Structure 1
Amino acid sequence: MTYSETAALKALAQIQDLDGKRDIVAAGRLGDLAYEDGYLRVILQIRPTEADKFEAVRKRAEATLKSLDGVDRVTVMLTAHKAAPEVAPKPKRSANPHQARRPEGYQGDALVDHVIAVSSAKGGVGKSTVAVNLAVALAKQGKKIGLLDADVHGPSVPMLMGLSGSRAVTTEKEGRRLITPFEAYGVKTMSIGFLTDGDGPIVWRGPMVQGAISRMLWDVDWGELDMLIIDMPPGTGDPQLGLAQDIKPRGALIVSTPQDLALLDALKGVAMFGKVDIPVLGLIENMSVFICPDCGGSHDIFGSGGVKDEASKLGVPLLGQAPLHMEIRKRSDAGKPIAIDDTAEANFFTTIAQNLMQLL
């Protein structure tokens, strides 16, 4: 027998919402229903205050869907969104308006000392490559490190960490269902790529993206970490603002090439973090110079000195410069970060890691 979406919807319609008056489909809880090659993924939308009570509903949904024809594996995820604002006027408060919106109960990131956001505000500057190699370099220094791929629409961390095709599982911990992160090269790793099947695009609106990022922050069993590195998506939209609301990072690192065009967007990222009261700890120059694989010569393809000059103007340190090198590209494509080695190319990221540790 083959899978039927109609049958899946009918099955979900047999499960009552918390009020007992409507089923979860009629109540508008169904955010996404996706099936591919025997794997069924369902997202249910809830309010933050309903997280604990809705766990029983989630389990019933999984148990019901597992019995459907053509379904070999089921994942039912809960996404919590911020409640609508009150209409009545509220007294003016001096507190930061970006308040955390967490579910009740045990938090997956409760034992994380520092959260560091790695951002670029522009795609194509190698931000994810820098984030991955920075995490691996920190782990080599003896630190307990986690890596969160927050680029929901373009997750690249699974490939960069050699974890392509991995699928996350959940475990019970202190009354909550938490996702178990994968570990590679001494780094605990989580990505939306571990929760979805196939290579197709993830076509989600802002609230769905926010729910997924929040889930990977709070509903992953990170354990004790010295640092959680967040590979931010490019831009200055919902994911960045949502992170400022949902969690207070210790600070942000801005990645840019020396090119003027990239620097313009990088400065927008600096301004955005300033508006949400997240300090910029430093700048990282990627693709600072091209090393010719044939002659070993250096070429300033994207210009030179731009990131260093901007760091000086902003009054923040330049944490390091990584070259555009053939070996870094090859190792990235192979899922073996260059930072695991003891080579000149690896040392660029070791230096960045050491400079970051001194700031903390």
Structure 2
Amino acid sequence: MSGSSADAELASPSGPVPARRGPGLAVLTALVQPAGTAIIAGWQHASVGIIGYVLLVFSGLALADRHRSPRRNFLIVVAATVAYHLLDGPVGVTLLAPMIGAAAVLAAGHRWLVAATSAGAYATWVLVSGPTLRQALAALALIAGAGLVTEFGSLVAARVHDGIAEQRRLSEERQRRRASEQRLLIAAELHDVLGHHLSLINMRAGVGLHLMDRDPEQARAALDAIAQSSAEALREVQAVLNTLYPTGEAAPRAPAPGLDRLAELTDDAALPTRTVIDGTVRPLPAAVDRAAYRIVQEGLTNIRRHAGTGVAATVTIGYRQDALVVEVDDDGGGVRQPEPAPAGNGITGMRERAAALGGELTAGPAPDGSGGWRVRATLPLGRDQTREATS
């Protein structure tokens, strides 16, 4: 879809603007009716006449107005057709225009008008022309057959229209859902990036202020670390925000972080952190790699926030055959502040990341009774992802 058409749809308060219907069917009917009737009249050795041709062409061209004023248009078309038969015009393709006009009236919901007008037209023809019983029954059968065909065609057209409308609704719903999921993903990324780096900056700023008079060199080192953390935070935020722009307008300036940067993350954690690799390191699917990095990042951030001073952390990355297991533990050695609420943004964000990949995440007291806190995530690789990662 082009940009202009998309803008037009968005600007319309009632949804997409329906396509304009041209006069093509009206012109075709104005050609088919007199031509078909002339052929059939030739078989009957009858003549249509100039007035007959004019009425047949007129009733066809009158259909061009059927969508704007379906009831008035139907009455005009029926009147022209009845006039043709009252002038003793030969039987031919004369009911095509009334059938098309009736379909437009049925689509507008005026079924009663079609029935009443058809009955009135038939009664007028019978009273004025005085046909034989056989002719009257034949005409009645022809009108009834045309009505059944028109009714069936209207039902089919309504079903098709409803199906198209439902497909459009489902497509719009999918687009809204994808947009919502993308916004949630961006919000989670920003929460992880800002929470991690701002907590580091806050802690190091406190250290710098404490040591500024007693140990200027250590204070300078803390300020250098603040500068590095803030620069890294800006780069990651820019990379996340670039996903808001259409492809080609703004490419990310840095790749999405993954476990290849785990050493940088733990070195920059501002608390003693030990890394344990369980299993054989191998390439991971991008979504799993990114989610594992963010879970470790948020886990270390929560330890800094809640475990107090003197705590040490352990990050365990377990490479299983069909899953990646990520654990972030603290040893309980610090003066623990209140634990993060189970529904807090950090834990909720980590749990949603794991669930989005079909995995699960638990957070709670460490099972060894040390008084520490453990975050454990299992991120399934899946059969196809495992083959891709090990190929």
Does TM, normalized by the shorter one, top 0.5?
Answer: no
TM-score tier after normalising by the smaller chain length:
under 0.3
Determine which structure has more spread, i.e. the larger CA radius of gyration. 2
Instruction: Flag the structure with higher strand content.
Output: 1
Instruction: Flag the structure with higher helix content.
Output: 2
TM-score by length of 1: 0.19
